Amino acid sequence: MSSHLPSAKAWVALFLPIAGIFLFIEELPARFVGAAGRTSFVIPVPLYVWIVGAIFILISGIACVVAFKRSSLLDRIIVCLAVLLTLWLVGTYFAFFLLPAHR
């Protein structure tokens, strides 16, 4: 493999948070937006959705650390993008974690 291409570790570190964002948002139930602009879930979020989201966050963070160690400059650039996506996944996770279920 050429030394100008990112390694497989960097691509895995980039793919995991992307997959985590899409899968986590897909598994969330529908959201209800009230007249006053208050947003809530139509039904309570199942426990497995929170567990899967937390596992994706943990694995994405570990993959970023592993890919950053002893890597080339291009790998580190890809890993920086992966870290930003992982932080976006964390922000999405906790933003939805604070939403209540509709009553």
- Tell me whether residue 55 is exposed, middle or buried, using C-beta atoms within 10 angstroms of its C-beta: 0 to 12, 13 to 18, 19 or more: exposed
Q: What is the pTM of this model?
A: 0.85
**DSSP summary character for residue 33:** E
Distance, CA of 100 to CA of 56 (rounded, Å): 22
Q: How far is Cα 23 from Cα 79, in angstroms, rounded to an integer?
A: 20
Residue 101 gets which letter from DSSP? Answer: B
Question: pLDDT tens, 21-62?
Answer: 999 888 888 777 777 777 777 788 889 989 999 999 999 999
Domain ranges of the chain: 8-97
Q: Mean pLDDT over all residues of the chain? A: 87
pLDDT at 12 over 80: yes
